[in-house]
Amino acid sequence: MDELVEAVYSALSNVIDPELRLPITELDMVGEITGNGDELSVEIKLTVSHCPQSKYLEQESLKQLREVFPNATVIMKVMSKAELDELKLKLRGPKKQNPFGQGSSTRVILVGSGKGGVGKSTITANLAVSLAQSGYQVGLIDADIFGFSITQQLGITDRPTRLDDMMLPPIAFGVKVISIGMFLAGNEPVSWRGPMLHKAIEQFLTDVYWGSLDFLLIDMPPGTGDVAISIGQLLPNAKALVLTTAAKAAALVSVRSGLAASKAGHELIGVVENLSWLETNGSKENLFGSGGGNQVSKELSVATGKEVSLLAQIPVSRQLSASSDAGRPMVLDFPEEPAARVINSLAEKLSQLKLGKESLTLNVKLST
């Protein structure tokens, strides 16, 4: 490589593609370089003409080049079909496949509850953002096909960018997210039978470019139906977190959902109790009963023969709800709020989770 080309590549290696999260120099997006140090012109090749990051890539490339070559200009182009095919091959290998199968180094965590409305999506979204804020590469699949709400909770209005049959997931607060909500017009209901649901989950795993993830969180649908069975087949190494509320009725259903996950071969990481109490002026009121989390932990421990600890109790928090409604998970702006502290400490516990079957249990318990 001659000196000029080397200097151009060095400057442009600072430009990171926001969707692929790699330097554009590693994505073969740098085209023809013409001129010399005084009159330099560099082609930047977008993956697709409708690339939503086009403006950003142009401005950032210009900025980085002009640090070294003050008169540099940038010409935006689009990759040819052959160049795009080459890039897809580089990113995902010769065959489309589920990247989270045997040998994957991603910790896959299913968040399930049994009942709807217990705060599963809210907690999953906050956990994902909390892990991303700690520097982990995090993906989130909204597998609650009928009751999807993750896009709204994370304020996502973008759709995945399509590179032919490959999709780049929108990224919110550092989390790569995919949800059926991104493929529907408005608030359209989804009434699909099992095979369609299986296909959707499969595509979320194989057609989406996830890159290398530390964590993949899955917001499970309530119940033990088709999606849960498909996930059992497609993600045999996933571990499950069981969410309940303090109420006895929710606890009974959560036990069933935990047992179903265990039957499907997923190790149970632990139990999380949401809506545990409302604290006002230092006094705690059990709005929805008490003991649900402990009950689920005990019953699942007996049934599976392994300790399934109660890992967290999340209080009722108006801010948690308001932040989710505003599309900015609470852990971002209110980390000192009690509910956010509990969620951040739960994320910290999850980050200690090891891969592999030997280290099935988390050696941390609730410390209250």
Output 52 or 116, the one with its CB closest to ligand ADP: 116
**Distances in whole angstroms, Cα of residue 263 to Cα of each of 216, 249, 294, 304:** 21, 22, 21, 9
**Spatial CB neighbours of 205, under 8 Å, sequence gap ≥ 6:** 98, 99, 100, 141, 234, 235
Tell me the number of residues near ligand ADP by CB under 6 A: 19
Which helix (H) or strand (E) segment is 300 a member of?
Answer: helix 292-304
- Residue 43's φ and ψ, nearest 5 degrees, are -85, 135
List 116, 225, 291, 338, residue binding ligand ADP (CB under 6 A) = 116
Decide if residue 245 touches ligand ADP (CB under 6 A). no
Please, how many CA atoms are within 13 Å of residue 355, restricted to the half-sphere of its CB?
14
Q: What are the angstrom distances between the C-alpha of 270 and each of 57, 94, 261?
A: 43, 38, 12
- Residue closer to ligand ADP by CB (options 122, 179) is 122
How far apart (Å, rounded) are the C-alpha atoms in residues 296 and 352?
22
CB of 348 to ligand ADP, least distance (A): 19
Q: 47 vs 313, which CB is nearer to ligand ADP?
A: 313
Considering beta carbons, is residue 70 or 117 the nearer one to ligand ADP? Answer: 117
Two tokens at 74?
């940038």
* 172 token code pair: 């919110």
Both tokens of 308, joined, read: 């399934």
Q: What is the DSSP letter of 97?
A: -
| Residue 243 CB, nearest approach to ligand ADP (Å) | 7
Within 141-180, the residues that bind ligand ADP by CB under 6 A are: 147, 149
327 sits in the region (left: phi over 0; alpha: psi -120 to 50; else beta) called left
Q: Cα–Cα distance between 312 and 250 in angstroms, integer? A: 16
Q: Which stretch binds ligand ADP (CB under 6 A): 74-82, 101-109, 249-257, 317-325?
A: 317-325
Query: Min. distance of Cβ 214 from ligand ADP in angstroms?
Result: 23
Q: Which stretch binds ligand ADP (CB under 6 A): 117-125, 202-210, 232-240, 262-270?
A: 117-125
In this complex, which beta carbon is closest to ligand ADP, that of residue 223 or of residue 232? 223
Which position among 72, 131, 154, 320 is part of the footprint of ligand ADP (CB under 6 A)?
A: 320
* 314 belongs to the binding site for ligand ADP (CB under 6 A): yes
Among all residues, whose Cβ is closest to ligand ADP? 119
Determine, following the binding rule CB under 6 A, whether residue 117 of this chain makes contact with ligand ADP: yes
- To ligand ADP, the closest distance from the beta carbon of 219 in angstroms equals 7
- The tokens describing 164, both together, are 């032919």
> Interface residues with ligand ADP (CB under 6 A)?
113, 116-122, 147, 149, 274-275, 314, 316-317, 320-321, 324, 339
